[in-house]
Amino acid sequence: MHAATGFWLEDSGAVAIVETAGGRMVGTMQFYRSAPCIHGYELGYIVHDPKDRGKGYASEATRLLTELLFAERPACFRLQLIIETWNEASWRVAERRGYVREALLRKAGFSTEDPEDCYLYARVRGD
């Protein structure tokens, strides 16, 4: 798949999060259509090793991918993140990068058998 597409398509893509100094991959980030009727994408990320969290990798990756998608895709008017309510570190990443908390999505989480509630954060073109 990577050889054919580079993990980069019109409505979805994935990138590596790497350290600037040594190029070590510390995480991944992706985007995909959030719904057919929404003019934008949902973003997701993970910093793989808990020891690498809290160092700004996710924040910088979110900034870069947000800027790139708005610059390269003129029909993209909205980017959103779905963040479980307990994940304060991810709230801070979203808010630091200009995302606004818009809603509570009940039972929308993905980390347990009984899905957690999530916050919907969004940033729109022109924010």
pLDDT-based confidence at 1, cuts 50/70/90?
low
Query: Could you give the angle at the alpha carbon of 81 between the alpha carbons of 12 and 118, nearest 5°?
Result: 130
Closest CA to 65 of 36, 27, 37: 27
Task: Decide: pTM greater than 0.85.
Answer: yes
Name the residue with tokens 């924010």.
Answer: 127
Query: Mind listing the pLDDT tens digit for each residue in 21-61?
Result: 899 999 999 999 988 899 999 999 999 999 999 999 999 99
| Helix or strand run (H / E) with residue 29 | strand 25-33
CATH code where residue 105 lies = 3.40.630.30
> What total number of domains does the chain contain?
1
* Structural domain containing residue 100: 2-124
Rg (CA), the chain: 15
Query: Mind listing the pLDDT tens digit for each residue in 93-110?
Result: 999 999 999 999 999 998
Residue 112: pLDDT above 80? no
